[in-house]
Structure 1
Amino acid sequence: MVSKNLTAAFLLFTTFLFISGSTSAVHSSPRLNATTKDLDFIRTSCNVTQYPDICFKSLAGYASTVHESPARLTKLSVDVAITKAKSTVEFLSKLSRSAPEVKDCVSYVRDAIDSMRDCLPILRNISRGGDVAAPAPSAAAPPSSEVFRWQMDDVLTYMTAATTYEETCTDEYEDEEGKLKTIVCDRVNKEKLFSSIALSLANSLANNGPSPRD
């Protein structure tokens, strides 16, 4: 059972931290040298997600780096999701000092981070036009499009695992009540928005393929 003995002062403090973090989590000012075309690409790409506004606000600041590259945009969305997850681990770790049962949730979010990190070298190489773990050149070597599908299968597997870990954390509180449940679930659910965005963009990349400049 979730402990009901947390002090009101500590709950108030952690709630304030959550609200503060949530307020800043979805805002990102576009870089001054980003073109309208760059920003439009991110806005259009974000329409495939469940949270297009949050997606755009969190990624618009990277518009000048993305340059209409679906692979770079997907990698950056994973970077953002990892950053949010690391912040959640820090938040929940502090909370676990007074509520030890939260440690399981911390472990799940850390596992989610590890899964998301596994995506990064694959997406980085795709964005550079490289083939991750591609066979040595030979007459029997698969075409690059097939290698791309293998790579994206791995990315989708890692990202799906990450979202599953996050959901496992909140599922543990399904039958609980109280402020601790609210604080933990609200925090992790906020984080899950960014993992969901990254997974949606990865799905879009897998279905549509990298752009010519990738």
Structure 2
Amino acid sequence: MRTQHLRLHHLLLLSLFLFAAAFSPAPTAADDASAPAPDDGDTEFIRSSCNSTLYPDVCFTSLSRYANAVQQNPGQLARVAIGVSLSKAHRVASYISNITREADYGTSGTRAAMALHDCFSNLGDAVDEIRGSLKQMRQIGAAGEGSGSFLFEMSNVQTWMSAALTDEETCTDGFQDVPECPVKADVCNRVTNVKKFTSNALALVNSYASKGSP
């Protein structure tokens, strides 16, 4: 009975998640396929900005392709970084949903299955929070200079991105007591990678917020 309840709960979460995902546009490499070569100054701006993150190499590799769109604008850089982290989180959440029924739990059994279920739920929350951050950032950009609510709006972005990072960490923490098995190694590696993008985006958001104006 409990297994049936969890399965129904999982399906409900998946339905809500996929519905929301349809409204989460994020930058992709294809968007820049026909773009002109980026200006060296724009690329160096991204490199120097990424040096303030915990994973500067990951940051620069993932964001330098958007140099033309960023154009040395810290707000735009933060928006693009959030969009990239949203795409990464969404992709892993979808992957976890797909493997749930076919995962190889080894001898870990129910404990691993529960950790996987909870991880999917946590990542769904993280996706919602990152999407909320991106929406707020776009509103800040539309407000233009002199918006008196900038600091308040940025605090919302910081709160949501921090919550998303916490949810991603909760996912991997949930596997601590699970014996080693293929699904544990696979999912933890993927989510740990997602955490790097979320952490970098949060660092760029914090840097932008510290400047005090859009």
Cα distance 1:130–1:32, how it changes in 2: closer, same or farther (>3 A)?
A: closer
Consecutive unaligned residues in structure 1, runs of 5 or more = 1-27, 132-142
Percent identity of the aligned residues?
40
Alignment of 1:138-177 (within 5 A): 144-145=147-148, 147-177=149-179
CA contact (8 A) 1:71 1:205 kept: yes
Provide the residue aligned with 1:10 in structure 2.
none
Alignment of 1:192-207 (within 5 A): 192-207=195-210
> How far apart are residue 33 of structure 1 and its match?
2.6
Across the aligned residues of Structure 1 and Structure 2, the Cα RMSD in angstroms comes to 2.2
Rounded Cα–Cα distance in structure 2 between residues aligned with 1:204 and 1:190: 22
Provide the residue aligned with 1:139 in structure 2.
none
- List structure 1 runs of 4+ shifted beyond 3 angstroms: 28-32, 128-131
Q: What SS does structure 2 have at the residue aligned with 1:184?
A: helix
2:68 corresponds to 1:68: no
Alignment of 1:32-181 (within 5 A): 32-99=36-103, 100-101=113-114, 102-130=116-144, 144-145=147-148, 147-178=149-180, 179-181=182-184
Q: TM-score, normalised by structure 2?
A: 0.75
CA contact (8 A) 2:74 2:208 kept: yes
Rounded Cα–Cα distance in structure 1 between residues aligned with 2:95 and 2:173: 19
Q: Name the structure where helix makes up a greater proportion of residues.
A: 2
Consecutive unaligned residues in structure 2, runs of 5 or more = 1-28, 104-112
CA contact (8 A) 1:72 1:124 kept: no
The alignment covers a number of residue pairs equal to 173
Q: What SS does structure 2 have at the residue aligned with 1:144?
A: coil
